[in-house]
Structure 1
C-alpha cells in the first residue's frame, strides 16, 4: 500500500491515504488549529481598522480571511473591507466593502401589530447584549468602546463592553477525491495505486446578540476556508407574552395562531420576520462591478441520454428588483479583475428558503440592485439625510448600475409551537455569498495539477456519453380520450418499456395538455382531451424521454370535436 502526504501551502492537515485499511499518513488537526498570518499593519483590512476590530485568520488548510467589524447604530454587527486569500493567491483580494442587516420587521398575522425591531434604537453598542463565555465558549470575546444612542434617544458612551464573539469552528467534510489521474476511481485499482485526498473544513464565525423586547437576535457571519460566506440572523428569546389570538375579538384563533398552553388554549399568533441585508460588493477593490442573473430551465427536449437544461446569463445594467426562483441566482463580478484562468472574479448570491411577505411591496422582491447612494440606508423608514422616509421602491429608479448595492430580502414565517417555550430554540434566516471564479482553482487546491481537461486517458476513465434506445410514439383518439403508446427496442432486440417521462398533446406548436408517463402505464397512457374546443384539430403526441428511452413524436391525427 502506497502512502503519501500532500501539503497545500502551510496546510499540514491535507491527507492522502491508502484506502486499504484506511491507515492515515498523519493525524488530522483540530478545527481551532489556526495560525495568525503576518499581514502588514497598514494594508488590506489594516488600512481601514486596527486592534480588536481587525480580524485576520489563517486556517489549517492555508486560506486566509482579513476584515474589519463594527457595531453600526442601525444594523448592529457589520463586516467591512473583507479580504480573502486562497493558497494560490499571491495576496489577499477584496470581496466586500460591507455587509450588514438593515431591516427586521415583525408583522403578526392577526393584523393588530407590526414591530420594527431595528427601530427601537437600532442594534448598536448601547442595545447589544453583553457577550458571555457561555455564548462564546471556544472563541475570543471582543470589547467595544463607542458612542451610541439608547432606546430613549439619548447619546451615551459605551465603555469596554464585551459584545462580539470570534471563533473558529469545524464544519465537517470539506472535500475528498479518490480519483487517480489517468487511472480512474481508486476502488477499481490495485491496492498499491489507491489514494484518498481529503480535508476537514473550518470556518471563522463572528457574531453579536441584541435583545428587542421578548425577542433576542443573533447576527452571525460564517466565513469558510473555501471563501464562502454564510450571512444569517437567528431569533430566540420568548414568544410574544402580550398577544394571544384567542383573546382577540373577531379572530378565528385556529386560522391565525397555535395553542401552546394546556388543551386548546393560549393561541400564540403566527407572524413574519422580514430581514433585509445591505451588501456592498468590492471585488478586488475596483469600482467597475457588473451584475448578472443566471437562469436555468429545461428546454423541453432530450439529448442522447438525459434531458437538456440550458443556463442563460443576463447582465442587469440598470437598477432593478428581482424575485427568486429555484433555478435562479445572481453573480456580481469584476470584468477587470481576472483569476489565473483569465476569468473575471466574482461572487454569487445564493438564496436559502425564504417566506415572501406579499402584503408589503418593499418586502416582496428577493434581491434589489441599486447604485450606491450614501443616503440610502434602510429599505423602510429610511433615515439617511437627503432621502428621509424613502423606501427601496424609491431607490430603484432606473439608474445605470455602476457601483451596485444588493438589498437581500429573506423572510421567515413563524408558526409558533409548543417547543418554543422556553427559551425559544433559535430559528435562522439568511443567504450565502458563494465564490464564483474568484480563484482559478479551489482555494484549498489540494490537487493543483488538475485544472480543466487533463488528458485522453483521464477522460476515458471517467463518464462517457451514453446513447439510449430510440422510441416510437403512437397516438389514437376515441371520443375525448387519446391513447398514447411508447415502445422501444435495445441493441440486443429486447423490448424496453419506459417508466417515466412526459407526454404532451400538441396542436401544431400549441400545448393542449401535458401529463407524466408513469411505470403503471405499462407503455401506454390515456389522456383526457377535455380542453379542446369544438371543431377540427390536428394533434400529435410528443414523448420526452428519460435515461431509459429517448423521446419521439407521433404521426398527426385529425380529431373532430362536435
Structure 2
C-alpha cells in the first residue's frame, strides 16, 4: 500500500520505508541470474545507438539479442530497435520499434484514492541505485534521470545480465539410445523504481527461443498508515482483527510498437476456436479455428480459445510462412471501475501523442480523450500499436510483512513462424522439418 497523498508527501526521502505488494500469478519465474554478459565484438553489427545506450548479448545457446535503451521522464526505461538473430539466420530479425510501460493504475477499494503512478506520481523520478548483489553476474549501467529532483541525476539503476531458465526442450528418440535436451538461457534487463510505498521492478526477459516476457513486480512492506479499512474492503493484519489493510487493484499497462522485419505496416489477426460436441460417427468433440483479420482499431477481451498475433507485412521464414508474434496474456483480474481497464488488449493506430493508457499528459487533439479506450475510434490500422492490460486485486495477507515477497504480473509475446524450425534445434535433427521420413 502507499501513503495517502493528502497527508504525506511521496518523496524519495522515504528510502527507509519499503513497499507494498503488487501481487499476481507469476507469469515467469524469477530465478537467479547467472553468467556476466560477454562484451560483443567491436566489429559486430549493432542496434542504431551509441555504445553507452546499446544492449547486445550473445547467449550461450547461440541467439544474439540487440536493442537500444533510453530513459523517459515519465515512463522510465524504454527499449527500442529490438532484434534477435537465432542460429542459422543470416541477419538480425527486427521485432519491436519500442517497448515500455504504458501506465500503472492503482485504485483503492474504499474509493478514497486512485493513482496513475507513471503520469501522476513521478514513477521515473524514483529510479533506485542497485547494489552489485542485485545484479548477479551482470553489469549495472548508469542512467541520467531527466529533470531529476536529486542533486546528482546519475543513478546506477539499469541491470543487464543472463540467467538459466531450465529445460528449453527434451526429446528422446524412438530408441533409448539418445536424449536431446538443452538448458534455456535468457537476457534479463530490469530497473527498480520507488513510488511512495512501492518499489516496482520492471523486468524484461529475452529468451534464446525468441520469446519476450515483460513483468512488473513489487516488494517491500504494507503502509503503516493504511490500516483503517472496514470489513469487505480490507484484511486483518497483525494481532486480532482490529487493523485491516485496505485492499486495492494494480492495473499495469504495456505499450508495444511492433516493427517486424523492420516495417511498421504489420497486420493484426484474431483467432477463435469453437468446440462442438461429438456427432454420430465420431469418437470425440471437434474443434474448428477461424481467423479474423483486424483491420480497424480494436478493444479486445481474452477468452478461452482466443488469441491474437501480429504478422509481418514483408518478412517470411525459410518455409515461406509469414513471420509473426503471438500475444500470450498472463493471469489477470480485469478491473471494471474505469472505462480504460474494461478490456484486456487495445490495438490503436500509431499516434506519437498517445503514450499512456490513462491520464495521458499530451494534447492529442480536440475530443481525443486522455485514455486508451478513447483512442479506439475506428481508424484503419496501417501502423498498429498494442496495449496490454494485466490487472490484479491485492487483498493483503499476514505473509505480506516484513518485507513483502516479490509478486509479479505480466505477459509474453512468442515467435510464430519467425524461423522455420526451433532456433535451438541441434544440427543432428536439422533435416526433420515438416512431414519428414525416417532414413531407411
TM-score range, shorter chain: 0.7 to 0.9
Of residues 195, 216, 228, the one that matches 1:212 is 195
Residue in structure 2 matching 1:201, options 184, 189, 213? 184
Give the whole-Å Cα distance in 2 for the aligned partners of 1:121 and 1:107: 13
1:268 matched to 2:245? The reply is: yes
> Residues of 1 paired with 2:146 and 2:330: CA distance?
35
Residue-by-residue CA offset, 1:73-96 (whole Å, 9 max, x unaligned):
111122111001110111111000
The offset of 1:132, in angstroms, is 1.4
Q: Which residue of 1 aligns with 2:434?
A: 452
* Contiguous gaps of at least 5 residues in structure 2: 1-32
Question: Is residue 2:420 matched to residue 1:421?
Answer: no
**1:422 CA drift (Å):** 1.5
Q: Secondary structure at the match of 2:132?
A: coil
Aligned mates of 1:395, 1:157 — CA distance in 2: 39
**Distance of 2:334 and 2:356 partners within structure 1:** 18
Please point out which of 363, 372, 384 is paired with 2:350: 372
Cα distance in 1 for partners of 2:438, 2:128 equals 60
**Matching residue of 1:343:** 321
Aligned residue for 1:145? 144
Residues 354-383 of structure 1: per-residue CA shift (max 9 Å, x gap): 010011111111100001100111121111
Residue 172 of structure 1 pairs with residue 175 of structure 2: no
SS, match of residue 231 in structure 2: helix
The DSSP-based 3-state class of the residue aligned with 1:134 is helix
> CA 1:123 to 1:50, structure 2 compared with 1: closer, same or farther past 3 Å?
farther
TM score, norm. by length of structure 1: 0.68
Which residue matches 1:298?
A: 275
Aligned to 2:377: 397
* Count of residue pairs the alignment pairs up: 403
Q: Work out the CA distance in 2 between the residues paired with 1:369 and 1:204.
A: 27
| 1:301 alignment partner, SS class | coil
Which ranges of structure 1 fall in alignment gaps of 5 or more residues?
1-29, 151-155, 180-184, 188-193, 247-252, 459-562
Deviation, 1:277, is 0.6
CA gap of 1:306–1:455, structure 2 versus 1, over 3 A, is farther
Show the counterpart of 1:32: 35
Question: Would the alpha carbon gap of residues 40 and 386 (structure 1) be closer, same or farther in structure 2, given more than 3 Å must change?
Answer: farther
Supply the RMSD in Å over aligned alpha carbons: 2.1
How far the C-alpha of 1:198 sits from its partner, in A, is 0.9
CA apart distance, 1:240: 3.1
Question: Which of the residues 357, 363, 371 maps onto 2:341?
Answer: 363
**CA displacement, residues 395-423 of structure 1 (integer Å, 9 cap, x when unaligned):** 11101101000010000111100011122
Deviation at 1:314, TM superposition (A): 1.0
Report the Cα offset of residue 287 of structure 1. Answer: 2.5
Structure 1 distance, partners of 2:126, 2:237, is 30
What's the offset of the Cα at 1:264?
Answer: 1.2
CA gap of 1:102–1:34, structure 2 versus 1, over 3 A, is closer
Q: Which residue of 2 aligns with 1:76?
A: 76
Greater RCO, 1 or 2 (C-alpha within 8 Å, sep 6+): 2
Asked which structure has the greater CA Rg, the reply is 1
CA drift of 1:305 comes to: 4.3
- Classify 1:389/1:157 alpha carbon distance in 2 versus 1 (closer, same or farther; 3 Å): farther
The residue matched to 1:52 in structure 2 has which SS?
helix
TM, length-normalised to structure 2: 0.87
Confirm or deny that 1:352 pairs with 2:330: yes
Contact 2:222 2:400 in 1 (8 A): yes
Q: Which residue of 2 aligns with 1:554?
A: none
How is 1:205-354 mapped onto 2 (pairs within 5 angstroms)? Answer: 205-246=188-229, 253-301=230-278, 304-354=282-332
Alignment of 1:469-508 (within 5 A): none
Partner of 2:135: 136
CA deviation vs aligned residue, 1:89-142 (integer Å, no higher than 9, x gap):
111110001111121111111121212222345333x32011112321321111
Q: Tell me, what secondary structure is at the counterpart of 2:146?
A: strand
Residue 243 of structure 1 deviates from its aligned partner by: 2.2
Q: Aligned with 2:374: secondary structure?
A: helix
1:142 & 1:37 partners in 2: Cα distance? 16
